[in-house]
Amino acid sequence: MKQEGNSSSVIKLDEKNGISFFYVKSDKFKTVRIDIFILDPLDIERATQNALVPYILRRGCRRYPTQQDLALRLEELYGAGVNVAVHKKGEYQIIQLSARFVSDRFTVNGANLFEEVGALLLDILTDPVTENGAFSKEYFEQERENLIQRIRSRVNNKMYYAMQRCMEEMCAGEPFAVNDDGDEERAKTLTNEALFEHYRGLLTHNPVYVYISGNINDHELERYIRKFEVIERNNLISLPSIQVKKEVGELRRIEEPMDVSQGKLCIGFRTQIEANSPEYYPLVIYNGILGGGVHSKLFQNVREKASLAYSAFSTIEKFKGLLVAVCGIEISNRDRAERIIMDQFKAIENGDISDYEMEATKNSLVTDLKSMQDSQGAMVDFYISQYLSNTNENVDSFIEKITSVTKEDVIRVSKRLTPDTVYFLTSLSGEGERRE
């Protein structure tokens, strides 16, 4: 898969034993970045284990077994950085290990950071600190406790929590409803031995995607790809397709009390639009008009004119085909706010879209996409999202498609949306007198 563009391009270099290698070519950065993604279908029994694995791996490897050893080695490598993360795209859970370091063009005395940092990242992935056939007991126990604290801290950001809970309720009984950090009870009962066996299974069976971004010559790329042959691979699993199209029944209403003073109102819609559909681009414009900035209908009508919300926006879950309108409101204004929010959906469906709303939405999206190219991490995320969507877009072609969307396209897409769930995060009394 090769993509041409003025700003950057991505080339699929190779695929061996279920490990796919991609090169994001860009001359604008003075750094190189390597990202390793391990994908697993979202599953309630596996999610907690997946959420814990990379944080234990980050603690050290056999050559550099402590965080201090690892930090000192990274400092020797011109201050290279190694990070890990766990997140989800649609119904896939993604374990990510990444390294970022100075390009060899800017080192002295012929230092080959790409080879050295690349080898170190591979060591972190494949050669962790072990004890008695499992992970280091100390690392396991500490990182398991850290995971439990991350799970508990979900509620700290009330707006994000409410939005996630709305989508979880919309997809109850579907893999998407599983949180990417797993759940506390499974974390508490998880054993070191079971987690280590799970980790070995991930390395052996699961799809792996390696993205290398920066300025690297072909010989170095080929040599790095060969290093992955040390991973024993067999009985490779395939990722299932993500269920997007689903019949919506009666509108569901979920109310969750919490110790808050302001309510969070979320209205979730099924779009029935898959990420690789031509209709996705009009959906992006639709979302921008609805709640994509200060020009949007939600911001102007719910916040500015009616003064009902201190925050009002909408967001798309691209891979699952969901759209959620989110507003932070006074609890007593719930019914009025919901009516005005729904009026904005009806307005777009009825063709009430101004030239200014179309132009401002497109300009905002183009600005965001162009500024995204200033971040290697954002570019890698863009390209792996395109690959998982089975689309062939680069930034330039993506911009071309969204700027070509017409009002008629937006109106057509609006008729595909169906309200699924109204979620309201309210106070313990429902009156908003308690404080966060």
Q: State the Cα–Cα distance between residues 32 and 127, nearest whole angstrom.
A: 23
Q: Walk along the chain (436 residues) and give the pLDDT tens digit of each residue.
A: 333 344 678 999 999 999 999 999 887 899 999 999 999 999 999 999 999 999 999 999 999 999 999 999 999 999 999 999 999 999 999 999 999 999 988 888 778 999 999 999 999 999 999 999 999 999 999 999 999 999 999 999 999 999 999 999 999 999 999 999 999 999 999 999 999 999 999 999 999 999 999 999 999 999 999 999 999 999 999 999 999 999 999 999 999 999 999 999 999 999 999 999 999 999 999 999 999 999 999 999 999 999 888 899 999 999 999 999 999 999 999 999 999 999 999 999 999 999 999 999 999 999 999 999 999 999 999 999 999 999 989 999 999 999 999 999 999 999 999 999 999 999 987 654 333 3
Three-state DSSP at 25 gives strand
Tell me if 63 sits within 8 A of 76, measured CB to CB. no
**Angle subtended at Cα 333 by Cα 329 and Cα 338, rounded to the nearest 5 degrees:** 85
- Report how far apart, in Å, the C-alpha atoms of 203 and of each of 18, 96, 126, 388 are: 10, 13, 8, 20
Torsional sign, CA 69, 221, 41, 174: positive
Q: State the Cα–Cα distance between residues 54 and 98, nearest whole angstrom.
A: 11
- Superfamily of domain 250-425, CATH level 4: Metalloenzyme, LuxS/M16 peptidase-like (3.30.830.10)
Of the candidates 13, 197, 37, 19, the one whose C-alpha atom is nearest the C-alpha of residue 121 is 37
For the chain, the domains span 8-228, 250-425
Q: State the Cα–Cα distance between residues 244 and 321, nearest whole angstrom.
A: 6
**DSSP letters of 188-202?**
HH--HHHHHHHHHHH
Of the candidates 283, 302, 325, 297, the one whose C-alpha atom is nearest the C-alpha of residue 163 is 325
Three-state DSSP at 312 gives strand
- Report how far apart, in Å, the C-alpha atoms of 364 and of each of 229, 267, 295, 345 are: 44, 24, 10, 20
Three-state DSSP at 162 gives helix
Q: State which fold the 8-228 domain adopts.
A: Cytochrome Bc1 Complex; Chain A, domain 1 (3.30.830)
DSSP 304: I
Tell me if 420 sits within 8 A of 252, measured CB to CB. yes
- Report how far apart, in Å, the C-alpha atoms of 205 and of each of 75, 114, 201, 264, 265 are: 34, 27, 6, 41, 41
Tell me if 313 sits within 8 A of 328, measured CB to CB. no
Three-state DSSP at 375 gives coil
Q: What's the confidence (pLDDT) of residue 7?
A: 60
Q: State the Cα–Cα distance between residues 249 and 106, nearest whole angstrom.
A: 59
Q: What's the confidence (pLDDT) of residue 430?
A: 62
Q: State the Cα–Cα distance between residues 185 and 48, nearest whole angstrom.
A: 9
DSSP 412: H
| Token pair belonging to 330 | 């006074």
Q: State the Cα–Cα distance between residues 333 and 331, nearest whole angstrom.
A: 5
User: Crossing angle, helix 395-403 and helix 355-372, to 10 degrees?
Assistant: 180
Q: What's the confidence (pLDDT) of residue 345?
A: 97
Tell me if 198 sits within 8 A of 348, measured CB to CB. no
